[in-house]
Amino acid sequence: MSAVVFPNYRIFTDAASDLGVSMMEGLPPVTVIPMGVNIGDEVHTFGPSGDLSISRFYALQRTGSFASTSQPSPEDCAQAFEKALAGGYDVLYLGLSSGISGTVNAARLAADEVRDRYPLRRIVCIDTLCASVGEGFLVREAARRQAGGMSLDELANWVEENKLKVCHWFTVDTFEHLKHGGRVGAVSAAVGGVLNIKPLLHVTQEGVLSVAKKPRGSKQAMRAQLEQMKHGWTPDLGKLVVIGHADNPIGAITLRDQVQEQFPDADIHTADIGAVIGAHVGPGMLALIYWGTTR
């Protein structure tokens, strides 16, 4: 039996994509570039070959430790790209939204640095305007099309044409980590805690994380997520639905069951939200990602 041969380029992304192993079974390999995460007084690297597990990260958060993140340096990206380029592969980098991080700019600087050393190879860097499992969703769908034989140019064009059709709807359990990261004020966080508000956030057309609604209680928050999907899911683009959770497996199961009941044709995958996005939203977050019109 002959081996499967994929088009001669490699897809790269960053650790913020929360790209679960189970989602990539049978697909071309994707290289994930690690990112820095500091929690409390500890300095870590999250991603392949990193020293911080998801379980350890959330255990620390639950003790009251806040976290911060750092993007890969251009040197980190250049080193990763060079391994593919030296092996005779072109590079397609799909990076975390520029509305959230400068990660994609680091990748572009790296591309400029290494191009002269590999004049026969190509590097294409795309700002996905997506985040977390939404970014992973788009990377996975890109890998599927690479497996189907799309060339580098065809796939780059496909990503640019479709990236704003990836809908992200998040709920968070507490305002505390949003407050710590400066995304909400102290007064809003205090009032939200008293009223048991579970804010509903989304990634906008500009790739920025924004509060859309302020439902009270987890059930209302989940209902708000499902309403967005009900009004905008576009299964003719693809039936993949990703449910991401930040150390909240019971919530993920509940949301999965409700999606399955209301959208029986959905191809549902569950993924962990890792330390990069988890640093800003805290444990308990639930994400619902799908192809649609309600971004």
Please, where in the chain does CATH 3.40.50.10170 lie? Answer: 9-163
Name the amino acid, one letter, at 236.
D
Q: CATH assignment of 9-163, given 3.40.50.2300, 3.30.420.40, 3.50.50.60, 3.40.50.10170?
A: 3.40.50.10170
pLDDT digits (tens, 9 = 90+) for 60-83: 999 988 999 999 999 999 999 999
CA angle 91, 96, 98 (to 5 degrees): 110
pLDDT digits (tens, 9 = 90+) for 104-156: 999 999 999 999 999 999 999 999 999 999 999 999 999 999 999 999 999 99
Q: What is the pLDDT of residue 40?
A: 87
Q: What is the pLDDT of residue 188?
A: 45
Distance between CA atoms of 257 and 194, rounded to whole angstroms?
A: 29
Please, where in the chain does CATH 3.30.1180.10 lie? Answer: 165-291
Cβ of 149: how many Cβ atoms within 10 Å? 11
CA angle 21, 23, 29 (to 5 degrees): 65
* C-alpha pair distances (Å), 268 with each of 22, 239, 242, 265: 12, 8, 6, 9
Measured in whole angstroms, the distance separating CA 172 from the mean position of its chain's CA atoms is 16
pTM listed for this prediction = 0.92
The two three-digit tokens of residue 277, written as one number: 């996005």
CATH topology classification for 165-291: Hypothetical Protein Tm841; Chain: A;domain 3 (3.30.1180)
* C-alpha pair distances (Å), 130 with each of 8, 219, 259: 25, 26, 21
Which residue stretches of the chain have pLDDT < 70? 1-6, 175, 177-196
Q: What is the pLDDT of residue 209?
A: 87
